[in-house]
A = this chain, B = another copy of it.
Amino acid sequence: MTNLEQYIQSYFDVQEEQLTSIASRFKYKEPAKNDFLLKQGRQCNQLSFIQKGLIRIYATVDDKEVTQWISTPGYFVTDLASFIFSTPARWNIQALTDCELYTIEKEDYNSLGNVVPEWHVLEKLFIAKCFIILEERVNSHLFMTAEERYNKLLQQQPDLFNQVPLQYLASMLGMTPETFSRLRKKQLK
């Protein structure tokens, strides 16, 4: 089983016979560092699995730039709202490093319903998982302080802390780089 097939299986829980058929619709891509996969305002027509590299999702609104998330190998990346509803993208998606991706175009993605009988069910579950991830993030703001969010991220994704500019992590946790830096200092003691 290829890496891509493993990724697909872990997300979509699809039967093995159909894996090859699904995987064949993804195309290998190697965006270079700083390349944009998507720009705010455009339409998002792709869903990508990250084999290698790091990708930042961010937006600029009223001069304020906010990093929404950093995606890492083994995960997918897209602007789900734009991808599903063909609305203008809210997010920029940019490679933080040279990357290796498997990308499916929206029209191929949408044709999967004709190929894999259970596809719409799997897709539903996939989106529901995305929902749960977001619910968790809302909760982190309702239940936790900035410091607790910092500690949680440090625990869950320690590697990120020496792979990406820390200001991006600060932003996705909803705090300034200065606050992030001070929490970091506190931790190191």
**Residue positions of A touching B, CB distance < 8 A:** 61, 64, 66, 68, 80-81, 84-85, 90, 113, 120-121, 123-125, 127-128, 130-132, 134-135, 137-139, 141-143, 171-172, 174
Contacts and interface: CB of A to CB of B under 8 A. Distances in A.
B81 A142 contact: no
B174 A128 contact: no
Most central of A66, A120, A142, A143 by chain B CB within 10 Å = A142
Given A120-B120, A127-B127, 15 more contacts: A61-B143, A66-B142, A66-B143, A81-B128, A84-B125, A85-B132, A90-B135, A90-B139, A120-B121, A131-B134, A137-B138, A141-B141, A141-B174, A142-B171, A142-B174
Contact of A120 (B124, B130, B174): B124
Main secondary structure of the interface of A (DSSP, over half): helix
Contacts of A142: 66, 68, 171-172, 174
B174 A131 contact: no
A142 B174 CA distance: 5
A176 to B, nearest CB: 12
20 contacts: A61-B143, A64-B143, A68-B139, A68-B142, A80-B128, A81-B128, A81-B132, A85-B128, A113-B121, A120-B121, A120-B123, A124-B124, A127-B127, A127-B131, A134-B135, A137-B138, A138-B138, A138-B141, A142-B172, A142-B174
Nearest to A118: B120
Nearest to A83: B128
A121 B134 CA distance: 21
Given A61-B143, A120-B121, A141-B138, A131 B68 contact: no
Nearest to A123: B124
